[in-house]
Amino acid sequence: MNRTDSLPTVPTAASPGTEPAPASVPLEIRTGRDPRWARPALLGLLAVTALLYLWGLGASGWANAFYSAAVQAGSQSWTAFFYGSSDAANSITVDKTPASLWLMALSVRIFGLSGWSILVPQALLGVASVGVLYATVRRWYGPAAGLLAGAVLALTPVATLMFRFNNPDALLVFLLVAAAYATVRAVETASTRWIALTGVLVGFGFLTKMLQAFLVIPVFAGVYLLAAPTGLGRRIRRLLLAGLAVVVSAGWWVAIVELMPASARPYIGGSQNNSILELTLGYNGLGRITGDEVGSVGGGGRPGGGGGGPFSGQTGLLRMFDTEVGGQISWLLPAALILLVAGLWLAGRAPRTDRTRAGLLLWGGWLLVTGLIFSFMSGIFHAYYTVALAPAVGALVGIGTTLLWRARSAAVRWRRLAATLVLAGTLAVTAWWSWHLLGRTPDWHPWLRPTVLAVGLTTAVLLAVSAVIKEFVSGNGFQGDANSLVNSEAGAGHRTGFAGRVVRWVAPVVSVAGIAVALAGPAAYAMQTAATPHSGAIPSAGPAGAGGFGGPGGPGGRMPGNGQFPGGPPGGTGQFPGFPGGPNGTGRDGGANAGGFPGFPGGGQAPGAPGGTGQDGTTPGGIPGQGGFPGQDGGTGQEGRGQRGGGMGGLLDAREPSAEMTALLTADADDYTWVAATVGSNNASGYQLATGRPVMPIGGFNGSDPSPTLAQFQRYVADGRIHYFLGGGGFRANGGSNASAEIAAWVAENFTATTVDGVTVYDLSSGKQG
């Protein structure tokens, strides 16, 4: 088909009231009918994605037990379901809005409680996200672009991780991709219905992960305002309607929670004043940007060096490429940025409603706005957040590659040559960057690294050379049209014979090889991620040492650098660096109160610090034994038993109680509201999942929320509602309530301690006081 270098507005067959597209637009876009290969290819992509995301899904067990316990609670109590409570007795909620828990809890109600039933909705959301991304990109750019976009999303390592895990990010990504599809449909005909649906989907994104869902609002609104084919006044009015849809779809749940008396609902975890608005604007809102997150673990940057906090890495423009984040998301990030610029250059001075430019601005704006906020936010940031960038990276790679490939048939030869050279350069940069990322795990399949570089550079050179040969063998310099090589027998003569036939076949073959080599690195990491169990609150994709905090959270994983947290001194042994002014902690040099880990309930030294011995195992709220975090050198894990490894993946993992402990807790369980109480949600979740009974997580996720207060806890004990208090778990940093420490101290002073399987236990129903 003869094509020009112009990229006109492309109406689809499904867009009523639009003029027919010019003949230079590919047939599948002009008619809305895909070529015969498109549907089988899409089904193959979805089947491979499903296999990658569903195979061996139950191996991760409870995955993030913090959320699994809330899912269990929601499957037992509709009140816990609605609020997202950590326990079925509704003492406190998780520190997020609960939409993602709803899907998982419904699955558990249908299939019963298991790791598989919790995770299967996440995997299906991943498959659906790939399918919706394909549909969105294909609508304006054709099935080839959609397939490439979907493949990039499916094989991004952090996407494979999060679609096999039970954090809220899986539902968030699906909702935002669906909102992008609705925006595309709205732009086509200035549809009120579709732009309102965009608002509804973003609003439910808020109910999934709060303000992170709103990062795309300026982009979606700006693209509609720019490109929708109607008057400015109508565009503004419809955007206001979409804004109202966001408020209603996100605000109904918030309004109910805020208007409900505090005595009639669980405490709002993550807040200091029992307020969902405080949680939205503070800990999970502006606090993530500024680092002022009261009650969080760290935050606010590191003493004497860059922002970002101890879990976050260094802030800055290159954060998405650094050792903690790069292996999760950045494999095709340079390519996406190059192709974004190239696509906008090809669009040129197109009309306001041009869809080629509108699509590039939609996905490019998503990538740049979200990526820059992630790069410079000073509060807690985890590498797995970057799954929100994966759809935009995939879309830009698919769109940009397709546009440049079509531009190879442009009427102007220098434009054809430039398009091919940009493609070749993008492939070379991608191969080099994959080589660099694979160098961070040099002992993991070492053959892959040089293979990717050699094949990638070779295909890039062949693609560039074939373009140059194509232009010169036509015999017309840089004049004439695009078909002179294959159609003209006069003027080119013998030069268009064998050479022409070779050139015609080189580019497609080399391009297929280029796509394969560009996806080789992320695909290898994705398969390794799928084959490895992950647990804890901070998982990371790829092999151990690939960045993040210790790679996978499966058994035996350790953090790079001998268990040392980023920013610690060389040769460290697992100390927690640079927490400012922590009482009862040791600093980087082992000195007391010199930036050590602050305020573990019950006091004691920070685990893993040089010379630190941790708690003696007798004070509730403390960490017995050597006190090291699980998976760290220099420590044996919480009480040295029952923990999954995995460095930071295991740091916030749940305890796996022994049969003896489980039997103790379940005995006479029907007589109590909570079979036990312990500091911190992660500590409580392991006991709750093992027993199937509510366990009160004192202080919420970090043990830093004022839930319950000492007075409330004393009333619960007096009323016979709590059977046991269990030592271990919980930690506090960056301010927050002291209630958990006060409760632990009161229990130690008034009840006799016993030890069960290495865990300090207090029977609160015994009436015995120490």
* 366 exposure class (CB count in 10 Å sphere: 0-12, 13-18, 19+): buried
Cα 36 to the center of its chain, rounded Å: 35
Task: Supply angle C-alpha 162, 168, 170, rounded to 5.
Answer: 45
What is the residue type of 346?
L
Looking at per-residue pLDDT, the higher value among 34 and 769 belongs to 34
Per residue in 429-473, pLDDT (tens digit) is: 999 999 999 999 999 999 999 999 999 999 999 988 887 777 666
Q: Is 584 left (phi over 0), alpha (psi -120 to 50) or beta?
A: left
Question: What is the per-residue burial (b if ≥16 Cβ within 10 Å, else e) of 173-182?
Answer: bbbbbbbbbb
Checking if the pLDDT of 362 tops 60, the result is yes
CB 446 within 8 A of CB 382: no
As given in the structure block, the two tokens for residue 759 are 């865990």
Confidence of residue 652 (pLDDT cuts 50, 70, 90): low
What is the residue type of 231?
G
Checking if the pLDDT of 565 tops 50, the result is no
User: So what's the pLDDT on residue 411?
Assistant: 66
Using CA atoms, how far apart are residues 678 and 697, in angstroms rounded to an integer? 6
Using CA atoms, how far apart are residues 638 and 629, in angstroms rounded to an integer? 6
Among the listed residues 92, 94, 122, the one whose alpha carbon sits nearest the alpha carbon of residue 107 = 122
Using CA atoms, how far apart are residues 625 and 605, in angstroms rounded to an integer? 11
DSSP designation for 565: P
Checking if the pLDDT of 636 tops 80, the result is no
Per residue in 712-760, pLDDT (tens digit) is: 999 999 999 999 999 876 555 566 789 999 999 999 999 999 999 889 9
Per residue in 104-153, pLDDT (tens digit) is: 999 999 999 999 999 999 999 999 999 999 999 999 999 999 999 999 99
Checking if the pLDDT of 5 tops 70, the result is no
Per residue in 72-92, pLDDT (tens digit) is: 999 999 999 999 999 999 999
Using CA atoms, how far apart are residues 156 and 394, in angstroms rounded to an integer? 9
User: So what's the pLDDT on residue 412?
Assistant: 74
User: In the predicted model, what is the mean pLDDT of residues 635-639?
Assistant: 34
Question: What is the per-residue burial (b if ≥16 Cβ within 10 Å, else e) of 392-401?
Answer: bbbbbbbbbb
Per residue in 584-595, pLDDT (tens digit) is: 333 333 333 333
As given in the structure block, the two tokens for residue 317 are 């423009």
| Length of the chain (residues) | 770
User: So what's the pLDDT on residue 626?
Assistant: 31
DSSP designation for 551: S
Question: What is the per-residue burial (b if ≥16 Cβ within 10 Å, else e) of 64-78?
Answer: bbbbbbbbbbbbbbe
Phi–psi pair at 553, nearest 5 degrees: -95, 20
Checking if the pLDDT of 672 tops 90, the result is yes
Point out the least confidently predicted range of 13-27, 37-51, 509-523, 540-554. Answer: 13-27
Instruction: Name the percent of the chain lying above pLDDT 90.
Output: 62
H or E element: which one contains 76? helix 65-76
Looking at per-residue pLDDT, the higher value among 1 and 766 belongs to 766
Confidence of residue 702 (pLDDT cuts 50, 70, 90): confident
* Average pLDDT along the chain: 80
Among the listed residues 93, 100, 351, 342, the one whose alpha carbon sits nearest the alpha carbon of residue 208 = 100
Using CA atoms, how far apart are residues 696 and 85, in angstroms rounded to an integer? 11
User: So what's the pLDDT on residue 583?
Assistant: 33
Checking if the pLDDT of 552 tops 70, the result is no
User: So what's the pLDDT on residue 497?
Assistant: 56
Which residue's structure tokens are 């112009």? 6
What does pTM read for this prediction? Answer: 0.83
Looking at per-residue pLDDT, the higher value among 425 and 284 belongs to 425
Checking if the pLDDT of 483 tops 70, the result is no
> Cis omega (within 30 of 0) on the bond before 708?
yes
